[in-house]
């Protein structure tokens, strides 16, 4: 069966520090991968999606970047975090009828 | 921009009652999905309804879709304390051939009181 792993679960980082969040998928090949951000009490905003290795598309301009170095690995990064980068980050992969989400990373920038 | 808008934003009912949540969207869709999110966790897929369907059932869940009004509703019957969560509707949009993205609404926070 397919599973998705996302880590860490929580992260507190100072302003200006770098960021690396990792997501891996098991049990499927060539998945469509997504990074979402969720502000407190709000819906999900799509940040990046990837349809293949090295293929990254950004939905919104921001301080973040994404990379897909391997088929089932998706990384969210920042060189210098801003306070506004705080939020709940969710990785997901999808088939046409359903999306499967990781457990999320709570990022607090202080 | 957000495609779906849920209504109400928050709902609190007694255990055993039915809970109804509504979702409106703006553009044409292929299907509409409902997801559930427990506090601080990832989302879990509940049910999908296609654009040519009007109603769908899954256990205690009943989803309706009115494409003429661009709206959907999720009904949870005989609610339980364990149903306490946030519920989101999501519409799919073609990105490129073979890939779609989901656009989520703001969600409804449902609280079931014992």
Q: B79-106 pLDDT, tens per residue?
A: 999 999 999 999 988 877 767 888 898 9
Q: A40-64 pLDDT, tens per residue?
A: 878 899 999 999 999 999 988 789 9
Quickly state the pLDDT bin for B4 (edges 50, 70, 90). low
B87 token code pair: 């519920």
Whole-number Å distance between alpha carbons of A75 and A66: 5
**Cβ–Cβ < 8 Å for B87, B21:** yes
Rounded mean pLDDT, B11-32: 94
**Cβ–Cβ < 8 Å for A7, A19:** no
- Least CB-CB distance to B106: which of A43, A99, A103? A43
CB pair distance less than 8 Å for A104 and B41 = yes
A39 touches chain B (CB under 8 A): no
Rounded mean pLDDT, A31-43: 89
Q: Is the pLDDT of residue A70 over 60?
A: yes
User: Which residues in B have their CB inside 8 Å of a CB on A?
Assistant: 2, 4, 31, 33, 35, 40-45, 48, 88, 90, 92, 95-96, 98-107, 109
């Amino acid at each position: 069966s397919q599973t998705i792993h996302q880590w860490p679960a929580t992260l507190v980082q100072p302003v200006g520090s770098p960021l690396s969040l990792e997501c891996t998928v098991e049990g499927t090949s060539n998945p469509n991968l997504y990074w979402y951000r969720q502000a407190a009490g709000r819906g999900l905003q799509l940040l990046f999606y990837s349809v293949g290795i090295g293929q990254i598309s950004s939905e919104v301009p921001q301080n973040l970047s994404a990379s897909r170095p391997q088929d089932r690995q998706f990384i969210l990064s920042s060189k210098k975090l801003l306070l506004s980068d705080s939020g709940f980050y969710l990785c997901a992969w999808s088939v046409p009828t359903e999306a499967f989400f990781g457990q999320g990373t709570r990022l607090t920038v202080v | 921009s957000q495609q779906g808008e849920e209504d109400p934003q928050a709902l609190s009912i007694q255990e055993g009652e039915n809970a109804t949540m509504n979702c409106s969207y703006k553009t044409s869709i292929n299907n509409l999905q409902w997801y559930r999110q427990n506090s601080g966790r990832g989302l879990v897929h509940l049910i999908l309804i296609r654009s040519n369907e009007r109603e769908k059932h899954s256990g205690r869940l009943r989803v309706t879709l009115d494409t003429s009004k661009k709206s959907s509703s999720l009904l949870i019957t005989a609610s339980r304390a364990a149903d306490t969560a946030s519920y989101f509707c999501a519409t799919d949009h073609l990105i490129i051939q073979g890939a779609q993205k989901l656009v989520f609404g703001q969600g409804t926070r449902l609280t079931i009181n014992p």
